[in-house]
Structure 1
Amino acid sequence: MPISISDLPPLDNRHVKTSTEDVLVDHVIPGELLVISFGFVSWDKRPDFDFYGRLKKLEQFGGRHINKILVRDSGNSWYHRKIDGLGQHPDQTADGLRQLIQAIQPRKVVTIGQSMGAYAALMYGMLLEVQQVVAFGPLSMLEPQHALLYHERRWLSVMRDLAARPPASSYNDLLALGRDKVGKLPDMHLIFGTRPDADKSTESVNLDAMHAHRLAALGNCTLYPYPFSGHPVVQHLIDTQRINALLARIVLGLELQEEGMAVTPDWHGWIAENLRLGGAAEELVEILKQHGFSHGSSSAAVAQAQAQS
Structure 2
Amino acid sequence: MARGTPSIHAPVEFDLIQGAPALYIFFGGIAAGIAMPPFEFYSASKILEASRIFVRDFRQCWYHAGLPGISHDIPSTAAYLAEQIARLEPERVVFVGNSMGGFAAMLFAAMLGGVDAIAFAPQTFVSPGLRLRHRDTRWARQIGKVWWQGLRAPRFWDVRPALAKARGDMRVSVFYSPDDALDRVHARRLEGLAQVTVHEIPGGRHNMVKLLRDNGSLPAIMARTFEAA
Question: Which TM-score tier does this pair reach, normalised by the shorter chain?
Answer: 0.7 to 0.9
- Distance verdict in 2 for CA 1:30–1:154, change over 3 Å: same
Give the conservation status (yes or no) of the 8 Å contact 2:106–2:163: no
Rg comparison, structure with higher value: 1
Name the amino acid aligned to 1:175. R
Distance in 1 between the 2:114 and 2:142 partners? 27
Give the conservation status (yes or no) of the 8 Å contact 2:64–2:149: no
Deviation of 1:210 (Å): 1.1
**Residue 29 of structure 1: aligned partner:** 18
Whose helix proportion is higher, 1 or 2?
1
TM score, norm. by length of structure 1: 0.66
Q: Is residue 59 of structure 2 the alignment partner of residue 81 of structure 1?
A: no
Distance in 1 between the 2:155 and 2:91 partners? 29
1:169 to 154, 158, 173: 154
Identity %: 23
Deviation string 1:237-269 (CA, Å, 9 cap, x unpaired) is 33xx22xx42321332568xxxxxxxxxxxxxx
Q: Which runs of 5+ in 2 are unaligned?
A: none
- Distance verdict in 2 for CA 1:185–1:120, change over 3 Å: farther
Q: Which runs of 5+ in 1 are unaligned?
A: 1-7, 198-205, 256-288, 290-309
Deviation of 1:20 (Å): 2.6
**Residue 249 of structure 1: aligned partner:** 220
Deviation of 1:29 (Å): 2.4
TM score, norm. by length of structure 2: 0.86
**Matches for 1:112-191 after TM superposition, within 5 Å:** 112-166=96-150, 167-181=152-166, 183-184=167-168, 186-191=170-175
Distance in 2 between the 1:162 and 1:70 partners? 21
State the number of aligned residues. Answer: 223
**Residue 40 of structure 2: aligned partner:** 53
2:3 to 5, 10, 34: 10
Q: Is residue 24 of structure 2 the alignment partner of residue 39 of structure 1?
A: no
Distance in 1 between the 2:108 and 2:174 partners? 15
Distance in 1 between the 2:114 and 2:194 partners? 16
Deviation of 1:56 (Å): 4.0
Distance in 2 between the 1:252 and 1:146 partners? 33
Deviation of 1:229 (Å): 2.2
Deviation of 1:85 (Å): 4.5
**Structural RMSD (CA):** 2.4
Deviation of 1:67 (Å): 1.0
Deviation string 1:140-182 (CA, Å, 9 cap, x unpaired) is 111112211011111333333322331522311111112233x
SS state of the match for residue 86, structure 1? coil
Give the conservation status (yes or no) of the 8 Å contact 2:96–2:119: yes
Q: Is residue 82 of structure 2 the alignment partner of residue 98 of structure 1?
A: yes
Name the amino acid aligned to 2:24. V
- Distance verdict in 2 for CA 1:216–1:81, change over 3 Å: same
Distance in 1 between the 2:121 and 2:112 partners? 21
Give the conservation status (yes or no) of the 8 Å contact 2:22–2:50: yes
Give the conservation status (yes or no) of the 8 Å contact 1:34–1:109: yes
**Residue 293 of structure 1: aligned partner:** none
Give the conservation status (yes or no) of the 8 Å contact 2:109–2:117: yes
Distance in 2 between the 1:161 and 1:10 partners? 33
Deviates more, 1:148-157 or 1:87-96: 148-157
Whose strand proportion is higher, 1 or 2?
2
**Residue 295 of structure 1: aligned partner:** none
